[in-house]
Amino acid sequence: MAGRRHVFISHHHADDAHVSKLTDSLARKGYEIRNSSIRAKPANKERLAKGLVSDNAIKRLLRIKMSWASTVIVLIGKETHARPWVNWEIKKAHELGKRIIGVFTRGGTKADIPPAFEDYGSDLVNWNPEAIIDAVEGADPNFRDTDGSSRAPVHNPSTSRC
């Protein structure tokens, strides 16, 4: 296993705490994740809520942050499927040739899977550090539903490595 991977973690901002939990969980297994995703500071959240940041500026920043990552991890929680920016990030990751891994957070269900992930996902795993590491490393795709049962991937996964 490689000691460090560059990833972009796509998530609903209500799930910001899960980003830290994920990277901490993987670090306890000796796996370092360098995450380039965006977690808005309170002042920026206010600017976003007021519409003071253009969509083009957000897209540009996301493209820059995502470009150096080999893999995009999509945290799938209660409201992920309804988040337009998560779907945009998944589509952009596909355009950039990135591996796209879905990880169910606690409470995430099949109904919470973003539509774009169904089209472009490379791997889908439960919240399990070993399964997540295998997915990031590009082991055989292991699509799983929240109950642990296998499911078929919807397309051939991307194999980009950085």
In a domain, 142, yes or no: no
Of 4, 35, 2, which Cα lies nearest the Cα of 103? Answer: 35
- Whether 74 is covered by a domain: the verdict is yes
How many domains does the chain divide into? 1
Residue 10 maps to a domain: yes
User: What's the CATH code of the domain at 96?
Assistant: 3.40.50.9200
Q: Does 158 fall in a domain?
A: no
The b/e string for 30-41 (b: 16+ C-beta within 10 A; e otherwise) is: ebebebbbbeee
| Residue range(s) defining the domain that contains residue 128 | 4-137
User: Residue 156 falls within a domain, yes or no?
Assistant: no
The model's pTM: 0.81
Residue 124 CA to residue 104 CA, distance in Å, equals 8
Report residue 154: phi and psi, to 5°: -90, -10
Q: How many CB atoms lie within 10 A of CB 48?
A: 13
Q: Would you say residue 26 lies in a domain?
A: yes
Note whether residue 153 is domain-resident.
no
d(CA 88, CA 67): 14
Q: Which two three-digit tokens encode residue 37?
A: 């995703």
Residue 160 lies in a domain: no
pLDDT in tens, the chain (162 residues): 456 788 999 988 777 788 889 999 988 988 888 887 776 666 666 777 777 878 898 889 889 889 989 899 999 988 888 888 899 999 999 999 999 999 998 888 888 899 999 999 989 999 989 989 888 888 766 665 556 566 655 555 444 444
* Terminal CA-CA length for the chain: 15
